[in-house]
Structure 1
Amino acid sequence: MALVGDSYEYVDKRFYDLTVPTADVERLFDGCRWAEGPVWFGDGGFLVWSDIPNRRMLRWLPDGGANGTVSVFRADSNHSNGNTRDREGRLVSCEHGGRRVTRTEPDGAITVIADTYKGRKLNSPNDVVVKSDGSIWFTDPTYGIMSDYEGHKAEPEQDGCYVFRVDPKSGKIEVVADDFVKPNGLAFSPDESKLYIADSGLSHDPEGPRHIRVFSVEKGRSLKKGKVFAEVSPGVPDGMRLDVEGNVWTSARDGVHCYDPRGNLLGKIRIPEMVANLTFGGPKRNRLFITATRSLYSVFVGVSGAQVP
């Protein structure tokens, strides 16, 4: 375990209550090429995350030692990126390689949830969340088809980079947002009345967006009244999660940024590598697991994560 000193930057005194100032950031593992998509399995007590260029998924299991034990969860992940779990506890993954969203069944079989829209291949699904009604919401930028590094280079077949919803009963795929440059991480508010979506368009366009937008969720299935929630700098917002108080914890170039429900920056957790994604885990969901470039980090915080299961 490598401790990362001077872990916090306090912009607002409220951030003290959301952190544990005596708890340092810990590096649990390094050796990835681009670590992404952490998901906590509370029933198994372990974390799974993606290493996109290496086409693998890794598993971290606390074993009482300094770092815990890391093993290969899936040797060929098809360039998986974002991961979550559905309301039955099944793993749901975005695969750059297959340009699809999949579900892993209890017996290990892979079910394709979405791979086309209007008869044309998706771009490269990036991140995914599951609402309490079982609907699946995911973003579809072109990162996985821009080169052979994180997927397979190809021309996009879609007319844009959309945010999609998959109906839990019919399986129908519909566009819920069509005005993003590069839609990326997304997360619901604790009561699911709002959906936060990152636009990381600045990553490949110096004039592109670097913000998080927030939408009202109407009738559980459509998005209205979208507005910019926060501009994230340095870097761009990628993956994000909310805590039980409605604060938004998002990735950035210099670490994890925390915003209150009004979009005010409360503080930062400094990470020495560019952060891609994060999730809350541990028995009390008060441990933040952070995927950042080559490494997996963690830090205990003063609040619990909102996501379930």
Structure 2
Amino acid sequence: MDIIANLFPGSFQPSLQPASTCLETHGAILNALPASHSALNAVSVNQNVAVIPGEWQSGDIPSPFYDITPTEPCVTAAFAQIKNADFISFDDAFLDVLGVDAKLERIQSFPQGQWHVHEAPVYLPETNELLYSDTSLAGLLYAINIDTHEVRKIPSDPPLQNVNGGTYHRGKVYVATNGGSVRGIFELNVTTGRTEAMVNNYRGRHLNSPNDLIFDSRSNMYFTDPTYGIAQNWPGVQAPELPNAIYRFDPRTKALQALSSSALVMPNGLALSADEKTLYVADSNSSHLEPASQRAVFAFDIRQGGLLDHPRLIYQVESGWPDGLRVTESGLLVIAVAGGADIIDPNTGTLLGRINTPGDIIFNLEPARGKGVWLLTGQKHIYKATIKEGPVQSWIAGNPPIIHQALEKIGSLWRKEL
């Protein structure tokens, strides 16, 4: 035995563990899936990997937790199994989110070796397409049919520079640009490509680089404005003239209101709770690749009148940075991250599980028509995840304009009565 120890000193000794010890180590990391979910390409991780046997080295910021380099071969094997799964459960509740027929598909692939960011996903219900951008291409967007996978180009006129965010509201598409000499929020006609600016300044100051946007049921628009435009050296972007901030824009009065410029370093993705009392915002400062930089999702209470109160951290990602956000029908939060999309309970901060895309960075995500269809825009691929849990039901936001007009008239009459 001494001879073997001398031949294999230090960290190589654990490779001589008996098979039973390896099985124990493997079992300390992974749980068995219940029979109902055994057909899924999924794994159940024990206790959020609270204890990793032996020693290990972590990778750079974009590398997920399963890409650590451990000294224990059995740990390596367990983490390889996790990496190869389509779904990673950290909590038994995630299995209910997935259902028994969950699947993950790649519906489009991009040339390897190119660093291109695919962003601004907007589901177009009229054509069953996902609109998306390649932020490095000016004046051009794409739409992919999520079932046939046919792709078409959508030119913009006047051309939009570096489209980074998008949303669908009351039958119309709105996008945010973070490049060019004038950056802002634009309405986009996906049939003609015609664009029209909605807001492009804050009282004469150039916006930094609008990143993401959402609407509430009263058509108030929230958007984030970090300094990615100049950080990414997009042509024409001036030095910052404003703090990084979250804004609220009223399309009826054209009033633009700054809501927060201190709680977050690099405000990014946005989502609203179903009751519209809570605003979720991603802070993606770690996209500058500093390990100690902020990479978390915060929640704010929305005061009457729109101001934000009580910022609080609800989730910190272990790698990459949080980007796009969406809310599910049961109030869970889906977060685009390096290596997939994390699903958390925002009330407790509990990580339930991950839609797993190893080797890829998911920049944004969007629900589609149909129960539990989620579309993920990554660096390398666009993914279609079909799970049991669907998106939050925004009945007002999905109605045709004529219904909106009726609803708004009823609301106006109701307010007069008060």
CA contact (8 A) 1:81 1:96 kept: yes
- Post-superposition Cα deviations, 1:254-294, rounded to whole Å, max 9, x if no partner, equal 2110001322100111112011110110333x111001113
Q: Distance in 2 between matches of 1:61 and 1:54?
A: 21
CA contact (8 A) 2:106 2:382 kept: yes
Counterpart residue number, 1:282: 369
Gap runs ≥5 in structure 1: none
Equivalent residue runs for 1:50-69 within 5 Å: 50-55=133-138, 56-62=140-146, 65=148, 68-69=149-150
Q: Secondary structure at the match of 2:261?
A: strand
C-alpha change, 1:77 and 1:19, in structure 2 (3 Å) is farther
Q: Distance in 1 between matches of 2:374 and 2:192?
A: 29
Report the aligned-residue RMSD: 2.1
Equivalent residue runs for 1:1-309 within 5 Å: 6-31=85-110, 33-55=116-138, 56-62=140-146, 65=148, 68-74=149-155, 76-86=159-169, 88-97=170-179, 98-105=182-189, 108-148=193-233, 152-158=236-242, 160-179=243-262, 180-204=264-288, 205-219=290-304, 221-262=306-347, 263-272=349-358, 273-284=360-371, 286-306=372-392, 307=394, 308-309=397-398
Q: In structure 2, what residue type is equivalent to 1:291?
A: T
Q: Distance in 1 between matches of 2:370 and 2:102?
A: 17
TM-fit CA distance, 1:21? 4.9
Structure with the greater relative contact order (CA < 8 A, sep ≥ 6): 1 or 2? 1
Q: Distance in 1 between matches of 2:232 and 2:336?
A: 23
TM-fit CA distance, 1:135? 0.7
Counterpart residue number, 2:28: none
C-alpha change, 1:302 and 1:145, in structure 2 (3 Å) is same
Q: Distance in 1 between matches of 2:259 and 2:367?
A: 26
CA contact (8 A) 1:233 1:253 kept: no
CA contact (8 A) 2:130 2:146 kept: no
Q: Distance in 1 between matches of 2:306 and 2:383?
A: 34
- Post-superposition Cα deviations, 1:91-133, rounded to whole Å, max 9, x if no partner, equal 1100112411111258654221211113110000000001111
TM-fit CA distance, 1:240? 0.8
Q: Distance in 2 between matches of 1:163 and 1:95?
A: 15
- Post-superposition Cα deviations, 1:67-103, rounded to whole Å, max 9, x if no partner, equal x2111123654210110022x2111100112411111
TM-fit CA distance, 1:35? 0.7
Q: Distance in 1 between matches of 2:231 and 2:238?
A: 7
Once the two structures are overlaid, the 10-residue window that deviates more, 16-25 or 197-206, is 16-25
Once the two structures are overlaid, the 10-residue window that deviates more, 265-274 or 218-227, is 218-227
Q: Distance in 2 between matches of 1:62 and 1:269?
A: 18
CA contact (8 A) 1:133 1:168 kept: no
- Post-superposition Cα deviations, 1:203-241, rounded to whole Å, max 9, x if no partner, equal 224432111110111125121111111111211101010
Once the two structures are overlaid, the 10-residue window that deviates more, 245-254 or 22-31, is 22-31
Q: What is the TM-score when the length of structure 1 is the normalising length? A: 0.91
TM-fit CA distance, 1:49? 0.9
CA contact (8 A) 1:57 1:77 kept: no
C-alpha change, 1:62 and 1:269, in structure 2 (3 Å) is closer
Once the two structures are overlaid, the 10-residue window that deviates more, 289-298 or 32-41, is 32-41
CA contact (8 A) 1:8 1:21 kept: no
Structure 1 stretches (4+) deviating beyond 6 angstroms?
none
Computing the radius of gyration from Cα coordinates, the structure with the larger value is 2
TM-fit CA distance, 1:152? 4.1
Q: Report percent identity of matched pairs.
A: 29
Q: Distance in 1 between matches of 2:88 and 2:235?
A: 36
Once the two structures are overlaid, the 10-residue window that deviates more, 54-63 or 238-247, is 54-63
